[in-house]
């Protein structure tokens, strides 16, 4: 496929109110893409849209406030976006949430909440917009997974399940759409987003333990969202099928999984001198 052409296209970006999503919106606007920005936080969306309107007056910016944990509403949103924005040429499934706690510490409703946002919303929105994307040969889909879509961490069973799921979804979809629509799956490592800050604490988890784990992980979140966004946009332009962001927090874990698929967790514990911390929250 030819390189993806940003200028004049329309990009739908979920989770666009902060972090990687906001940085992607800014990078896309700079490249001349019109934008449809989706987030559950109206105030964050308004700030981003106002900034982009001042900085890029020639770019159309539309905002949609949506709670992607509402399955029926998300399915309807996919249909609505396809109807109202038939010119869409890029879909970035970026929105994600986090939940702390071992599986035994979580209520099933909490697990379902995370899976709805991180996995089912990706499928629903992509399915809704797929006819539009297929009608524009050369369009593209981005699915933001995580290093936890490669490296399974204890204390993150729902998150790992969702991120492995969207990885498989993206890879299978790429084969189905080969030669017509590009698909890139992204595995961020330690990107400094709000996902840990906004994470929910499992109902059966000690909040103090959660805060200790969150502070520990925050020290690893050193990659600027703008740098992550630029890497993603370069990957889209080049039609890269897979992108890992961060050497220590993404590429190295990927290598460990490849080399030691059945024992990488034990190896990491030995190298660090501790067992894997089940209280930690996702890096991205």
pLDDT value of residue 271: 58
In a domain, 277, yes or no: no
In a domain, 195, yes or no: yes
In a domain, 127, yes or no: yes
Give me the domain span that covers residue 256. Answer: 10-272
Residue 190 host element (H or E) = none
In a domain, 196, yes or no: yes
Is residue 159 part of the annotated active site? The answer reads yes
DSSP letter (8 states) at residue 223: B
pLDDT at 279 over 50: no
Choosing from 159, 164, 210, 264, which is the catalytic residue?
A: 159
Rounded Cα–Cα distance for residues 205 and 148 (Å): 21
Strand partners, 81: none
pLDDT at 259 over 50: yes
Going by pLDDT thresholds of 50, 70 and 90, the confidence category of residue 209 is confident
107-134 average pLDDT score: 98
Rounded Cα–Cα distance for residues 136 and 214 (Å): 43
In a domain, 75, yes or no: yes
Rounded Cα–Cα distance for residues 171 and 281 (Å): 25
pLDDT value of residue 277: 46
In a domain, 121, yes or no: yes
Per-residue pLDDT of 177-197, as tens digits, reads 999 999 999 999 989 888 878
Per-residue pLDDT of 238-247, as tens digits, reads 999 999 999 9
* CATH code (residue 165): 3.40.50.720
Mean pLDDT (the chain, rounded): 92
In a domain, 1, yes or no: no
In a domain, 284, yes or no: no
Going by pLDDT thresholds of 50, 70 and 90, the confidence category of residue 282 is low
How many structural domains does the chain have?
1
- CA dist list (Å): 54 to 21, 28, 38, 163, 274: 19, 15, 19, 35, 50
User: Helices (DSSP H) in the chain: which residue ranges?
Assistant: 19-30, 42-55, 71-84, 108-115, 121-134, 157-176, 207-218, 225-237, 252-259, 264-272
pLDDT value of residue 284: 54
């Amino acid at each position: 496929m030819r390189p993806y052409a940003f200028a004049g296209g329309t990009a739908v970006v979920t989770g666009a109110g902060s972090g990687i999503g906001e940085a992607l919106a800014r990078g896309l606007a700079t490249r001349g893409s019109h934008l449809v920005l989706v987030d559950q936080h109206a105030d964050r969306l308004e700030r981003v849209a106002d900034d982009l309107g001042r900085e890029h007056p020639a770019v159309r910016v539309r905002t949609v406030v949506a709670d992607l944990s509402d399955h029926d509403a998300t399915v309807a949103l996919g249909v609505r976006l396809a109807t109202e924005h038939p010119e869409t040429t890029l879909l970035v499934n970026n929105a994600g949430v986090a939940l702390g706690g071992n599986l035994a510490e979580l209520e099933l409703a909490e697990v379902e909440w995370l899976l709805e946002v991180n996995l089912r919303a990706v499928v629903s929105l992509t399915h809704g917009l797929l006819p539009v994307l297929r009608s524009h040969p050369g369009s593209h889909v981005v699915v933001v997974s995580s290093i936890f879509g490669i490296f399974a961490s204890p204390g993150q069973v729902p998150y790992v399940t969702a991120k492995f799921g969207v990885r498989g979804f993206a890879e299978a979809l790429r084969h189905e759409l080969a030669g017509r629509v590009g698909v890139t799956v992204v595995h961020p490592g330690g990107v400094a987003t709000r996902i840990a800050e906004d994470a929910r604490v499992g109902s059966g988890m000690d909040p103090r333990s959660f805060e200790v784990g969150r502070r520990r992980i925050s020290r690893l979140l050193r990659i600027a969202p703008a740098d992550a966004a630029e890497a993603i946009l370069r990957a889209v332009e080049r039609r890269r099928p897979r992108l890992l962001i961060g050497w220590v927090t993404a590429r190295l874990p990927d290598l460990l999984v490849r080399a030691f698929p059945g024992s990488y967790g034990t190896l990491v514990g030995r190298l660090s001198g501790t067992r894997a911390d089940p209280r930690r929250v996702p890096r991205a």
